């Protein structure tokens, strides 16, 4: 550690003030003051209000340093209007003679993962006690050094944020390029294309089977037959190559084994309208539709790509109930464009090639984002070990 730096307990350089705990009756849908809860700490979702008049230290205002110590951990400098902050949030008052608010924020941000691993308690919801955070020992440099570090980090992080934004936009562009091309393939139909329903190009078009109740009975599981769930379909990329559950012989007896090459369509819940193709024989429940295409009429990869372009439409069709869902009836009269099988195969080859190139680009941009996150951690580590130099910002 550099000369002039000291290791100090956090309660020697700042005060932690708890917010107020509320009864349900005290939280209103409208009122004089917004109540900042942990759920609002990083989002603006579902605010409550209160009309209570409280001591001044139970309010936070623009510029105050806060720290969520339960569930969603981390510091934040509040930039909104005057609010009442909840019990699961601390307002932190730095001793201006020893530490700046900006340095303390960066220090706590850097230290949060370590705080959770060292001092986090609880099983259903992790939290950190006020006593343990106050007793935490951290490196504190002199005030001029704190100001120098904050200035360097602000500049470095602004550059990192800009680079991440560019990488994310490039990642978005790569995905949209493929989706645009995919959409165009099926909109610019050539001569000889016909409109057909899925049942017209299928040998079998039906829901999966899971007759036993309850469906998750452990006596059905743990065998050699892959069991595909809607989440497996959503996580797949055109082909389903992985699964998390299996049926045994008893499970198979009350279900059905679908052949490799079957197109799966998730028809309920958050994954509704997601599609992918089985890369092995497998079972799936009635929350999934299976399509075994007639190879004389259709190519299964073509059909899966085709269904991807209808995903938004199908999701909309599934709305309006407590749980999003579509069913066989959704497809009964729905026509889809089909050229000859030979042309379908040609289209699949082109889409596969473009998809492979898109995935390479996505991997490059995602790695760039990961590298920038790692660079931020490296810079923070150097900052709080006294090794940060102005030239660090040139590494971004």
Residue 323 lies in a domain: yes
3-state secondary structure 195-209: EECCHHHEEEEEECC
The pLDDT, as a whole number, for residue 70 is 83
Residue 171 lies in a domain: no
pLDDT digits (tens, 9 = 90+) for 78-131: 988 899 998 889 999 999 999 999 999 999 999 888 888 888 887 667 888 999
Residue 369 lies in a domain: no
**Lowest pLDDT segment from 35-44, 84-93, 306-315:** 35-44
At 396, is the pLDDT very low, low, confident or very high (cuts 50, 70, 90)? very low
Report yes or no: 329 and 199 within 8 Å, Cβ to Cβ: no
Residue 99 lies in a domain: yes
CATH of the domain at 203: 3.90.220.20
Per DSSP (E only), the strands in the chain are: 6-9, 14-18, 33-36, 48-50, 59-60, 65-68, 74-77, 83-85, 89-94, 137-140, 194-196, 202-207, 221-227, 239-240, 245-247, 263-266, 275-278, 288-293, 336-338
Verify that 203 and 134 share a domain, yes or no: no
Say how many domains are in the chain: 2
Verify that 246 and 137 share a domain, yes or no: no
The pLDDT, as a whole number, for residue 394 is 46
Verify that 73 and 206 share a domain, yes or no: no
The pLDDT, as a whole number, for residue 360 is 92
For 234, residues 6+ apart whose C-beta sits below 8 A from its C-beta are 266, 270, 271, 274
Residue 357 lies in a domain: no
Q: 306 is in which domain, residue-wise? A: 194-338
pLDDT digits (tens, 9 = 90+) for 144-203: 999 999 999 999 889 999 999 999 899 889 888 888 888 888 888 878 899 999 999 999
Mean pLDDT over residues 11-29, rounded? Answer: 88
């Amino acid at each position: 550690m550099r000369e002039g730096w000291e290791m100090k307990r956090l309660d020697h350089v700042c005060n932690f003030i708890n917010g107020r705990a509320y009864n349900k009756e005290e939280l209103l849908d409208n009122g004089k003051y917004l109540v900042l809860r942990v759920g609002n700490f990083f989002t603006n979702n579902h605010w409550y209000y209160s009309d209570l008049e409280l001591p001044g230290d139970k309010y936070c205002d623009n510029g105050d340093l806060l720290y969520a110590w339960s569930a969603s951990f981390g510091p934040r400098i509040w930039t909104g209007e005057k609010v009442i902050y909840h019990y699961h949030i601390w307002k932190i008052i730095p001793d201006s003679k020893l530490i700046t608010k900006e340095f303390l924020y960066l220090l706590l941000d850097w230290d949060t993962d370590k705080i959770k691993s060292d001092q986090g308690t609880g099983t259903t919801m992790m939290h950190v006690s006020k006593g343990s955070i106050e007793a935490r020992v951290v490196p504190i440099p002199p005030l001029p050094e704190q100001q120098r570090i904050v200035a360097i980090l602000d500049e470095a992080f602004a550059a990192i944020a800009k680079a991440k934004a560019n990488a994310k936009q490039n990642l978005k562009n790569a995905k949209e390029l493929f989706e645009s091309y995919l959409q165009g393939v099926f909109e610019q139909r050539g001569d000889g294309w016909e409109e057909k329903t899925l049942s017209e190009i299928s040998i079998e078009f039906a829901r999966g089977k899971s007759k036993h109740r309850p469906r998750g009975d452990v006596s059905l599981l743990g065998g050699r037959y892959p069991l595909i769930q809607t989440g497996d379909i959503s996580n797949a990329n055109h082909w389903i190559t992985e699964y998390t559950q299996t049926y045994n012989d008893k499970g198979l007896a009350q279900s059905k084994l679908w052949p490799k090459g079957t197109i799966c369509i998730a028809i309920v819940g958050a994954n509704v309208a997601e599609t992918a193709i089985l890369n092995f024989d497998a079972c799936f429940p009635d929350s999934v539709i299976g399509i075994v295409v007639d190879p004389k009429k259709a190519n299964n990869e073509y059909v899966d790509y085709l269904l991807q372009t209808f995903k938004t439409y199908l999701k909309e069709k599934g709305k309006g109930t407590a749980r999003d869902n579509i069913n066989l009836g959704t497809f009964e009269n729905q026509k889809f464009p089909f050229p000859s099988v030979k042309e379908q195969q040609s289209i699949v080859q082109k889409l596969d090639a473009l998809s492979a190139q898109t995935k390479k680009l996505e991997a490059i941009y995602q790695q760039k984002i990961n590298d920038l996150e790692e660079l931020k951690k490296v810079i923070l580590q150097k900052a709080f070990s006294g090794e940060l130099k102005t030239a660090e910002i040139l590494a971004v």
